[in-house]
Amino acid sequence: MEYFVGIDIGGTNSKIGILNSDGDILKSTSIKTESIEGVDYTLNKIWGTVLELSDELDISRDMIKGIGMGIPGPVIDQKKVGFFANFPWEKNINISEKMEEISGIKTRLDNDVNVIALGETLYGAGKGYSKSVTIALGTGVGGGIFIDGKLISGATGAGGEIGHMKLEKEGKVCGCGQKGCFEAYASATGVIREALSRLQINKNNELYRLIDGDLNKLEAKHVFDAAKKGDKFSLEIVDYVSEYLAMGIGNVLNIINPEVIILSGGVALAGDILLDKVKEKLPNYALGITIENLQIKLGQLGNDAGIKGASALTI
Amino acid sequence: MEYFVGIDIGGTNSKIGILNSDGDILKSTSIKTESIEGVDYTLNKIWGTVLELSDELDISRDMIKGIGMGIPGPVIDQKKVGFFANFPWEKNINISEKMEEISGIKTRLDNDVNVIALGETLYGAGKGYSKSVTIALGTGVGGGIFIDGKLISGATGAGGEIGHMKLEKEGKVCGCGQKGCFEAYASATGVIREALSRLQINKNNELYRLIDGDLNKLEAKHVFDAAKKGDKFSLEIVDYVSEYLAMGIGNVLNIINPEVIILSGGVALAGDILLDKVKEKLPNYALGITIENLQIKLGQLGNDAGIKGASALTI
């Protein structure tokens, strides 16, 4: 038997799993990333954890044929990381080389959202499709484009950064410093911003009651929950967000023309109350030919998508 | 020696060439497409022309190893045409099969702009790059995405239809029936629309004099020519168009992250007066990492791009 390691490096925690060649997770765990201790410390700690997991599974080191990693930053040629978002690590570190030195095992990496897209496409909602775009609607908005067996990772690792596609010429300021980004409207943060803004002038609504008038409590989920209860104020926010979601997805359809769009992340969990509106509005933005046979699906793998996709990088 | 046929089927005329495996055109000609006579008539007429050209070159039929065609419409699996823009031909015709029956030679097709992109990437401005996006700024706006040896043609042949990416939520009406399309702003038609609209309220400018006050005469080229002469009225139109061009190109960079953007078509011929402004505005729309090493080039092959790219479909 051949085994593969999937690693999803996050800002706080890193998930590590040992998988078979079918992408089944045989054993996995989560450790503190502790990026502050430096890149060598973190990689050695990860490798130590891999050895522990493989011991528990009674798998010898030579049966591990590859290590795959999802990285919070742009990855070039599946080896080098342009920069780490939020880590005090240098630019342009060749993580593949470093990990291969430590482990003696072939290592490949890609951007964390690209790796989630790979996981969902190969083992989750996109199984059986050869052209997919996965859109992660979380704190930010990320994307992963998968075409005929390969991720579109881009020349400098920014392939699939659809969250920073501009939808308004002088729109809302985004965390990236630019204006009008898809992310500024369709992320969980975008939902919260819009709700907070509207709550300043209207407190007579179900949403305000749901958070007991404490604006610090507000999460995107509250907006969707209140909308599901029929709160007109929240339904209007959902409508506002769905318009931008349809516009952003429509643009992706016109450019990439995939067979399936996979939505993951907190905003996607809103479910039909949001998705039905997006589907209704999509024909205003996407060319008819791109939606004829299109499937729009929710991600199926949840937190396992990263590990599964990472393991597939070396299969 | 092995030879290849490149065909660029247009609404009025079709260009046909015989090329070697390096993409050099050995002989080419142009014939009337006469789509009104039906698909079989047109394909047979094209094949007759191929035989004439090969006779003149003293090339026997068995030395022709492939036929490639650029098609005005969406092409699925390089064989079937979803529909022909402006041709009275049926939907979903398998042109590859029909041409192979007529000629006995392997035939592949793709969308005409995708084929231009392939030509420019392999033999023109994109030579040596493995990730390119070609943007044809003509009557409309088309795009062709080339990644690691392959065109992104899409699930139903609409891959690279960047002209219908939406840049304004309730923007100018586009020929496709939707609103706010990139094409409605950055095509030659878009330039003319904007100029005509502004000329209604301002006739005291160089542009108006250049067309002798005859609005029917107005072409995009006049706007660029007047701007080059320093006409403030025309410079403002160029500025307006460059803003949308930067936004559209920026979105493509964030999604695809290519090494090179190749601009072709009439609007691209405006040259530096437009390009300098686009480059200046691009950092407002594209993530920094996508423009660090980016090249923006003008297409080099002109009308030969289609034939050259088409011939490469079977090489």
Q: What is the pLDDT of residues A244-293, one digit of tens each?
A: 999 999 999 999 999 999 999 999 999 999 999 999 999 999 999 999 99
Q: Which residue of A has its CA nearest to B160?
A: A255
Please tell me the distance in Å from A206's CA to the nearest CA on chain B: 29
pLDDT digits (tens, 9 = 90+) for B236-267: 999 999 999 999 999 999 999 999 999 999 99
Residue of chain A whose Cα is closest to the Cα of B75:
A289
Strand order in the sheet with A150-151: A150-151, A141-147, A131-137, A260-264, A295-298
Chain-chain contact of B257 with A169 (C-beta, under 8 angstroms): no
> For the purposes of burial, counting CB atoms within 10 Å of the CB of B65, is it exposed (0-12), middle (13-18) or buried (19 or more)?
middle
Burial code of B192-221, b = ≥16 C-beta within 10 A, e = fewer? Answer: bbbbeebbeeeeebbbbebbeeeeeebebb
Cβ-defined contact of A156 to B293 (cutoff 8 Å): yes
Nearest residue in chain B measured CA to CA from A250: B165
A159 and B74 in contact by Cβ < 8 A? no
Contacts of residue A166 in chain B, CB cutoff 8 Å? 167, 247, 250-251, 285
Return d(Cα B126, Cα B117) in angstroms, integer.
9
pLDDT, tens only, A106-164 = 999 999 999 999 999 999 999 999 999 999 999 999 999 999 999 999 999 999 999 99
Whether this model's ipTM surpasses 0.90 comes out as yes
| Optimal mutation site among A245, A289, A294, A296, interface B, most CBs of chain B within 10 A | A289
CB contacts < 8 A, A to B, total 136
Cβ of A145 and B74 within 8 Å?
Answer: no
Average pLDDT value over all residues in chain A: 97
- Give the three-class secondary structure for A5: strand
Span B203-231, average pLDDT: 97
pLDDT at B197 > cutoff 90: yes
| Residue A305: per-residue pLDDT | 97
End-to-end Cα distance, chain A: 13
Mean pLDDT of chain B: 97
Does the pLDDT of residue B85 top 90, yes or no? Answer: no
Alpha helices in chain B (DSSP H): 39-56, 95-103, 112-123, 182-186, 188-199, 206-210, 220-228, 232-256, 272-281, 288-291, 305-312
In angstroms, the CA B315 to CA B299 distance is 22
Segment holding A97, helix H or strand E: helix A95-103
CA dist list (Å): A139 to A69, A183, A219, A231: 21, 9, 11, 24
Cβ proximity of A26 and A19 under 8 Å: yes
Contact between A40 and A286 under an 8 Å Cβ cutoff? The reply is no
CB contact under 8 A, A290 and B179: no
Q: For A161-211, how does the pLDDT look when each residue is reduced to its tens digit (9 = 90+)?
A: 999 999 999 999 999 999 999 999 999 999 999 999 999 999 999 999 999
Closest chain A C-alpha to B96 CA, distance in angstroms: 21
Task: State the Cα angle at B265 between B260 and B271, rounded to 5°.
Answer: 70
Of the candidates B143, B156, B166, which has its C-beta nearest A250's C-beta?
B166
Let me know: does B112 contact B72? Beta carbons within 8 Å.
Answer: yes
Q: Please tell me the distance in Å from A143's CA to the nearest CA on chain B.
A: 8
What DSSP state is assigned to residue B219?
Answer: -
- Exposed, middle or buried, A162 (CB in 10 Å: 0-12/13-18/19+)? buried
Tell me which amino acid residue A156 is: T
Which residues are within 8 A (CB) of B14 and not within 5 positions of it... i.e. 6 or more apart? B7, B8, B30, B31, B32, B33, B42, B46
CA A190 remoteness from chain centre: 16
- Please give the C-alpha separations between residue B34 and each of A292, B14, B86, B88, B112, in angstroms, as whole numbers: 30, 9, 12, 10, 18
Contact A31, A13 (CB under 8 A): yes
Take residue B160 and report the two structure tokens written for it.
């690279």
Q: What is the DSSP letter of B72?
A: S
Q: How far is A208 from chain B (nearest CA, A)?
A: 29
How close B26 comes to chain A (CA, Å)? 34
Which domains, ranges and CATH numbers included, belong to chain A?
3-111+304-312 (3.30.420.40), 127-299 (3.30.420.40)
Name every residue whose Cβ is closer than 8 Å to that of residue B246 and which is 6 or more positions away in sequence. B277, B278, B281, B282, B284, B285
Nearest CA in chain B to A143: B255
Interface test with A, best of B257, B261, B295 (most A CBs within 10 A): B257
CB within 8 Å: B287 and A161: yes
Which positions in chain A touch B147 (Cβ < 8 Å)? 147, 152
Identify all chain A residues contacting B152, using CB atoms and an 8 Å cutoff.
147, 152, 256-257
- Name the DSSP class of A258: -
pLDDT at A48: 98
**pLDDT given at position A86:** 82
Q: Is pLDDT at A85 greater than 90 in this prediction?
A: no
pLDDT of residue B86: 82
Query: How high is the pLDDT of residue B6?
Result: 98
pLDDT in tens, B105-126: 999 999 999 999 999 999 999 9
Contacts of A163 (CB under 8 A, 6+ apart): A140, A141, A142, A143, A181, A182, A183, A187
Residues B125-152, mean pLDDT to the nearest whole number: 97
Residues of B in contact with A145 (CB under 8 A): 255
Which residues of chain B are within 8 Å of residue A252 when distances are taken between CB atoms? 255
Rounded to a whole number of angstroms, the distance from the CA of A295 to the nearest CA of chain B is: 12
Provide, as residue numbers in chain B, all residues whose Cβ is less than 8 Å from the Cβ of A247: 166, 169
Measured between CA atoms, how close is B61 to chain A, in angstroms? Answer: 34
